[in-house]
């Protein structure tokens, strides 16, 4: 049984009290004395040459303090890509400068080219309307195939064919893969689109720049998932200011899903404006700006081929993908379709030969980058869809086929043909658990019942794996990363025995304040209520890499455990002195340091007090104080995995799909807080169902975003979703981090889309519509109905 | 968005052609037009107030006439900027053919929008553009045919806004009814 409030307890989220009572403090809630307001001017055309921006009238308007354009930032650095991906032929990737504000050209609708700062937001908006931009519209390239094929259409003048890189993984294996396909008894081919998504965090992006002319210090309040990375990018790459003169504070942040990992130009702009005006400058995006300028997700066009024998044993897998990166490279945009996608193309299977080709393509659309799952949903979708198609072609049972191709429990550590080493797992166990909790055996009766109501019922399955807990720095360094991916924690025991934990991870809804306190409480044997979790402020926390890629617990949590271990080790030294015993004889248990085999003991609080009031203390050999910092760099990725099942009812008359049930059997390793894990899975599955049935970012041929509001971009709502059945009992603890945790944040969004689509195809086949082999997401009534009709 | 339509006007092609080149008539016919100045040769400057779905804006822009084959065909293009609302642009290729008793006016229209209009109103643009085109040519027909022509062909609600060109017909209902049942 878990200790009350410790590891494994479903402790209620402490942060929800302030979130649910309106006491959260988000960037938009922060108002600094004397602040001015910024309004950005954004391109209305997808591609255009900026001839002239006339700001005279705007400058003369009431309350206007400054109007800045791209020219004012031309001398600053570009916002860099964080990962270098070389092409198959060894060429470096193309990295066009991404300026703070567009200069010379605008390259997507929403590309900011000027900013107006005024006394009030209304004055800033009015003045923005008076800025006259003479922009000559140029032909836009929106479609990736056209971007690659038409040499006359260029997002960046210097990049022919708009290809950022042409990546092969693993290039040396290509010949063997091709040979296997030539010799294979059966090849299944599928062309599919992984639909483009708008992240839609509940809180739009916001930033306040605050320059202190007295000290020369810059302070940035911003909606960030990783304040230290933002600080590094702004200081060292974009603005060229000393890192120690910039503090980045990401207070409460209302969701990110990846879109707030990145540094955006607005952050540098408000800092620069603040310095120019000697006043704080605040900007809060409206929802339209979020749609236009947040980094979008997914947007792959893929051709996948699976070679098998006639019994459905996987022999080889091959993919060609066009991955949209939009108009500029967002910070992780080059890693997402490659090392978070290509390396996962083995899935949980023993496919011996895999080759992945990805071309990253510039288009006149908003930048595309990591969105919940980031590359791994795309990989999982491609694999699970082609496996399902193969099963139909060969008339094989999709459960049996998956089962016999899964990596077996005795094969770990398992080296995949795409460069990863899975440390542990038990994929047959989660599949078996799924079959049980989703009641596969009762499906036929449910199908018959649906049929009586005139509905087509289908059952769809997916298995999934991801590499998360990113990442071993030396490994990703070899793979092209330009940053380390460790994390850090400082555990500060105060004199009165309570604790402040400063973590490099950042919570924007995950519940870190609760879970991290549970872990420290469990390890130190003091109540969670005496433990404060501090995050999001670079002036308080050690240099950490923030939260994304399901890394907070596996990496940040591990750093915290290491720091706690150092606290305990020092506490033992202090206790040994106070108890006049040998250090080796001191044991720490349940919050007490005691001499083994005796009743002599000191509480944790007594040790803490002694550390800060060191009257009886080994000062000659030990420093006072009780505060430890640890950095943790993981030895490997973590590999959560699982199996998902979806049941749908399709109305063949209208094409409408209803999710009847959804079940998840996951292996997240050790679970710290089951309730929070359930919530993470629920949220991820909701987003996956959103992708599968509802969501799509659509641009027209001119590059106009047609889905620029919730009138046209359909978000999943409660009545689109069933009650979820979630199980994470089949856990195999991670072998290389101290908590044995793997990460759960992205799972739901990774495993669910193929389960939904497989279920719909299954329903149509059972209903006699056997010519439908694939429908691209989102499976709107119109698309499903059309597929049935054709 | 694209649409093709035609209508028969009870006036000879020369009259219709002259009307197309007349800024006052154009102003009377562009729905929501507040002002139009300029000439057929140099182009017209126009201010138009329109509402597309949730977005209402005053568009300032230019209307140009091109590809002119006198008495036969031309292209009318317009592009307007609506400030924060975005922009709209459209064009119509117009062909005049003499028919017994008048002129057949055929048109191919295309329209596109950008900025906030596209983000918020894209679903509505097709219907909006169709209505704009219908209204325009309806008014044009009504204006050219003049009060004498009202026996056949004025749409309900197509209230021209140019004073002296206002045919002011009292029999609009009849024309509207005839179109529905005819």
How confident is the model over A733-790, as pLDDT tens digits?
A: 999 999 999 999 999 999 999 999 999 999 999 999 999 999 999 999 999 999 999 8
- Interface residue of A40, A706, A707 to substitute, partner B, most B CBs within 10 Å: A706
Residues belonging to chain B with any Cβ–Cβ distance to chain A shorter than 8 Å: 83-84, 86-87, 112-116, 118-120, 122-123
Q: Is the pLDDT of residue A366 over 50?
A: yes
Structure-token pair, residue A202: 């509940």
Q: Is the pLDDT of residue B163 over 70?
A: no
Q: Is the pLDDT of residue A309 over 90?
A: yes
**Buried b or exposed e, range A26-50, using 16+ CB within 10 angstroms:** bbbebebeebbbbbbbbbbbbbbeb
B12 pLDDT band, cuts 50/70/90, is: very high
Dump pLDDT digits (tens) for A372-392.
999 999 999 999 999 999 999
B75, β-bridge pairs: B66, B93
Q: Is A597 exposed, middle or buried (0-12, 13-18, 19+ CB in 10 A)?
A: exposed
Count of domains for chain A: 3
The yes/no answer to whether this complex scores an ipTM above 0.90 is: no
Give A707 to chain B, closest Cα distance, Å.
Answer: 6
Residues A402, A500, single domain; the answer is no
Residues A528, A401, single domain; the answer is no
Dump pLDDT digits (tens) for A8-56.
999 999 999 999 999 999 999 999 999 999 999 999 999 999 999 999 9
Q: Cβ contact (<8 Å) for A711 and B123?
A: yes
Nearest to A291 among B83, B119, B122 (CB): B119
Would A507 be classed as within a structural domain? Answer: yes
Which residue, A279, A283, A247, A245, is CA-closest to A112?
A283
Residues A563, A652, single domain; the answer is no
Partners of residue A712 in chain B, C-beta under 8 Å: 122-123
Give B110 to chain A, closest Cα distance, Å.
Answer: 14
| Least confident interval from A317-326, A534-543, A660-669, B102-111 | B102-111
Would A353 be classed as within a structural domain? Answer: no
Would A344 be classed as within a structural domain? Answer: no
Tell me how many residue pairs between chain A and chain B have CB atoms under 8 A apart.
48
Would A376 be classed as within a structural domain? Answer: no
Which residue, A260, A379, A322, A365, is CA-closest to A698?
A365
Which residue, A375, A733, A740, is CA-closest to A554?
A740
Count of domains for chain B: 1
Residue in this structure with the two tokens 């195999």, named with its chain if needed: A732
Residues A560, A526, single domain; the answer is yes
Q: Of A588, A614, A632, which closes a domain?
A: A632
Displacement of CA A33 from its chain's centroid (Å): 35
pLDDT confidence of residue B148: 53
Q: Would you say how long chain B is, in residues?
A: 182
Would A359 be classed as within a structural domain? Answer: no
Q: Are A308 and A188 in contact (CB under 8 A)?
A: yes
Residue A430 gets the label, from left (phi > 0), alpha (psi -120 to 50) or beta, of alpha
The SS3 assignment for A387 reads helix
Partners of residue A709 in chain B, C-beta under 8 Å: 119-120
Dump pLDDT digits (tens) for A401-413.
999 999 999 999 9
- Mean predicted confidence (pLDDT) in B105-123: 84
Q: Which residues contact B50 (CB under 8 A, 6 or more apart)?
A: B31, B32, B56, B57, B59, B88, B132
Domain limits for position B73: 2-181
Residues A610, A659, single domain; the answer is no
Residues A499, A602, single domain; the answer is yes
Would A697 be classed as within a structural domain? Answer: yes
CA–CA separation, A257 vs A297, rounded Å?
A: 10
Q: Is the pLDDT of residue B164 over 80?
A: no
Chain A residue nearest residue B122, CA to CA: A706
Residues A242, A104, single domain; the answer is yes
Residues A737, A783, single domain; the answer is yes
B24 pLDDT band, cuts 50/70/90, is: confident
Q: Cβ contact (<8 Å) for B114 and A109?
A: yes
Give the rounded percent of residues in chain A with a pLDDT score beyond 70: 99
Q: Which residues contact A530 (CB under 8 A, 6 or more apart)?
A: A497, A498, A499, A521
Would A5 be classed as within a structural domain? Answer: no
Q: Of A599, A632, A665, which closes a domain?
A: A632
Domain limits for position A775: 384-466+639-789
CATH code of the domain containing B115: 3.30.530.20
Strands of A329-376 (E only): list them: 353-362
A288 touches chain B (CB under 8 A): yes
Residues A446, A547, single domain; the answer is no
Dump pLDDT digits (tens) for A572-613.
999 999 999 999 999 999 999 999 999 999 999 999 999 999
Dump pLDDT digits (tens) for A479-504.
999 999 999 999 999 999 999 999 99
Structure-token pair, residue A633: 């760099």
Nearest to B112 among A702, A708, A712 (CB): A702
pLDDT confidence of residue A3: 53
Q: Are A431 and A463 in contact (CB under 8 A)?
A: yes
Give B106 to chain A, closest Cα distance, Å.
Answer: 27
CA–CA separation, A626 vs A490, rounded Å?
A: 11
pLDDT confidence of residue A453: 97
Cis amide prior to A170 (ω within 30 degrees): yes
CATH code of the domain containing A772: 3.30.365.10
Q: Cβ contact (<8 Å) for A44 and B112?
A: no
Q: Are B114 and B123 in contact (CB under 8 A)?
A: no
- Interface residue of B59, B117, B119 to substitute, partner A, most A CBs within 10 Å: B119
Residues A392, A523, single domain; the answer is no
Residues A39, A108, single domain; the answer is yes
Which residue, A636, A261, A258, A335, is CA-closest to A471?
A636
Would A166 be classed as within a structural domain? Answer: no
User: How many CB atoms lie under 10 A from the CB of residue A371?
Assistant: 29
Q: Of A602, A632, A662, which closes a domain?
A: A632
Residues A620, A686, single domain; the answer is no
B127 pLDDT band, cuts 50/70/90, is: confident
Which residue, A559, A535, A520, is CA-closest to A15?
A535
Strands of A633-767 (E only): list them: 641-651, 656-667, 724-727
DSSP one-letter string for A72-136: GGTTSPP---SB----TTSPPPP-----SS--SEE-STT-EEEEEEESSHHHHHHHHHH-EEEEE
Partners of residue B112 in chain A, C-beta under 8 Å: 700, 702, 704
Q: Which residues contact A237 (CB under 8 A, 6 or more apart)?
A: A77, A78, A79, A80
- Average pLDDT over chain A, rounded to an integer: 97
Cα-atom radius of gyration of chain B, to the nearest Å?
16
């Amino acid at each position: 049984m878990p200790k009350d409030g410790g590891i494994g307890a479903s402790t209620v989220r402490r942060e929800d009290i302030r979130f649910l009572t309106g006491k959260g403090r988000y960037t938009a809630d922060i108002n600094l004395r004397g602040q001015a307001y910024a309004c950005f001017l954004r391109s209305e055309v997808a591609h255009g040459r900026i001839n002239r921006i006339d700001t005279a009238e705007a400058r003369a308007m009431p309350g206007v303090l400054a109007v800045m354009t791209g020219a004012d930032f031309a001398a600053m650095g570009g916002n860099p890509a964080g990962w270098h991906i070389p092409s198959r032929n060894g060429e470096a990737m193309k990295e066009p400068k991404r300026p703070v504000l567009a200069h010379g050209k605008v390259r997507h609708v929403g590309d900011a080219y000027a900013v107006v700062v005024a006394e009030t937001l209304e004055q800033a908006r009015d003045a923005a309307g008076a800025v006259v931009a003479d922009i000559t519209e140029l032909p836009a390239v929106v479609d990736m195939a056209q971007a690659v094929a038409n040499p006359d259409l260029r997002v960046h003048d210097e990049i022919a064919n708009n290809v950022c890189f042409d990546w092969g993984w693993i290039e040396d294996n290509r010949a063997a893969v091709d040979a296997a396909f030539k010799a294979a008894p059966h090849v299944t081919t599928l062309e599919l689109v992984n639909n483009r998504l708008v992240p839609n965090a509940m809180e739009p992006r916001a930033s306040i720049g605050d320059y202190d002319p007295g000290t020369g210090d810059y302070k940035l309040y911003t909606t960030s998932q990783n304040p230290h990375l933002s600080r590094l990018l702004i200081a060292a790459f974009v603005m060229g200011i000393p890192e120690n003169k910039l503090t980045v504070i990401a207070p409460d942040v209302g969701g990110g899903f990846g879109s707030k990992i990145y540094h955006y130009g607005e952050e540098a702009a408000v800092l620069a404006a603040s310095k120019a005006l000697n006043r704080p400058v605040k900007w809060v995006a409206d929802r339209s700006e979020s749609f236009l300028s947040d980094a979008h997700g997914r947007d792959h066009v893929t051709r996948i081929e699976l070679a098998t024998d006639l019994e459905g044993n996987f022999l080889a897998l091959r993919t060609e993908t066009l991955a949209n990166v939009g108009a500029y490279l967002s910070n992780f945009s080059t890693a997402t379709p490659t090392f978070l996608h290509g390396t996962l193309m083995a899935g949980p299977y023993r496919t011996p030969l895999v080759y992945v080709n990805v071309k990253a393509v510039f288009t006149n659309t908003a930048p595309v980058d990591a969105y919940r799952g980031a590359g791994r949903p795309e990989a999982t979708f491609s694999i699970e869809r082609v496996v399902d198609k193969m099963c139909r072609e060969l008339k094989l049972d999709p459960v049996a086929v998956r089962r016999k191709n899964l990596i077996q429990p005795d094969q770990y550590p398992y080296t995949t043909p795409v460069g990863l080493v899975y440390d542990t797992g038990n994929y047959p166990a989660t599949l078996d658990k799924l079959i049980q909790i989703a009641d596969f055996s009762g499906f036929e009766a449910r199908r018959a019942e649906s049929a009586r109501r005139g509905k087509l019922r289908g059952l769809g399955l997916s298995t999934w794996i991801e590499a998360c807990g990113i990442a071993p720095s030396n490994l990703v360094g070899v793979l092209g990363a330009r940053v380390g991916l460790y994390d850090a924690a400082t555990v500060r025991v105060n004199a009165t025995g309570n604790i402040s934990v400063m973590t490099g991870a950042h919570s924007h809804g995950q519940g870190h304040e609760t879970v991290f306190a549970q872990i420290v409480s469990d390890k130190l044997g003091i109540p969670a209520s005496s433990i404060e979790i501090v995050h999001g402020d670079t002036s308080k926390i050690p240099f950490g890499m923030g939260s994304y890629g399901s890394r907070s617990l596996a990496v940040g949590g591990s750093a915290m455990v290491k720091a706690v271990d150092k606290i305990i080790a020092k506490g033992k030294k202090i206790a040994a002195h106070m108890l006049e015993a040998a250090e080796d004889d001191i044991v720490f248990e349940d919050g007490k340091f005691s001499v083994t085999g005796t009743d002599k003991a000191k509480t944790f609080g007594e040790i803490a007090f002694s550390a800060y009031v060191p009257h009886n203390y080994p000062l000659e050999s030990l420093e006072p104080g009780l505060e430890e910092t640890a950095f943790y760099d993981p030895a490997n990725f973590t590999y959560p995995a699982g199996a998902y099942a979806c049941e749908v009812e399709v109305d063949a008359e209208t094409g409408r799909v209803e999710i009847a049930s959804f079940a998840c059997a996951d292996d997240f390793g050790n679970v710290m807080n089951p309730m929070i894990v359930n919530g993470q899975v629920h949220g991820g599955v909701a987003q996956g169902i959103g992708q599968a049935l509802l969501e799509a970012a659509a641009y027209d041929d001119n590059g106009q975003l047609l889905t620029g509001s919730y009138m046209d971009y359909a978000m999943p709502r409660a009545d689109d979703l069933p009650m979820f059945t979630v199980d994470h009992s089949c856990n195999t603890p991670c072998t290389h981090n101290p908590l044995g945790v793997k990460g759960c944040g992205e799972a739901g969004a990774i495993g669910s889309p193929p389960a939904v689509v497989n279920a719909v195809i299954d329903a149509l086949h059972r209903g006699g519509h056997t010519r439908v082999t694939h429908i691209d997401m989102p499976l709107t009534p119109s698309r499903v109905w059309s597929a049935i009709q054709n | 968005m694209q649409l093709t339509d035609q209508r028969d006007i009870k006036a000879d092609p020369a009259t219709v052609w002259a009307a197309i080149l007349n800024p006052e008539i154009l102003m009377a016919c562009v729905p929501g037009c507040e002002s139009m100045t300029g000439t057929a040769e140099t182009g017209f400057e126009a201010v138009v107030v329109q509402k597309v779905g949730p977005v209402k804006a005053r568009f300032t822009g230019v209307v140009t006439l091109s590809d002119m084959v006198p008495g036969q065909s031309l292209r009318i293009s317009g592009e307007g900027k609506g400030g924060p609302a975005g922009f709209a642009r459209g064009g119509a290729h117009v062909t005049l053919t003499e028919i017994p008793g008048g002129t057949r006016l055929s048109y191919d229209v295309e329209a596109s929008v950008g900025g906030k209009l596209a983000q918020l109103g894209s679903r509505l643009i097709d219907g909006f553009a169709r209505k704009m085109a219908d209204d325009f040519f309806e008014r044009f027909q009504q204006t050219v045919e003049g009060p004498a022509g009202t026996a056949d062909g004025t749409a309900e609600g197509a209230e021209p806004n140019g004073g002296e060109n206002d045919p002011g017909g009292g029999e609009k209902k009849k024309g509207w009814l005839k179109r529905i049942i005819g």
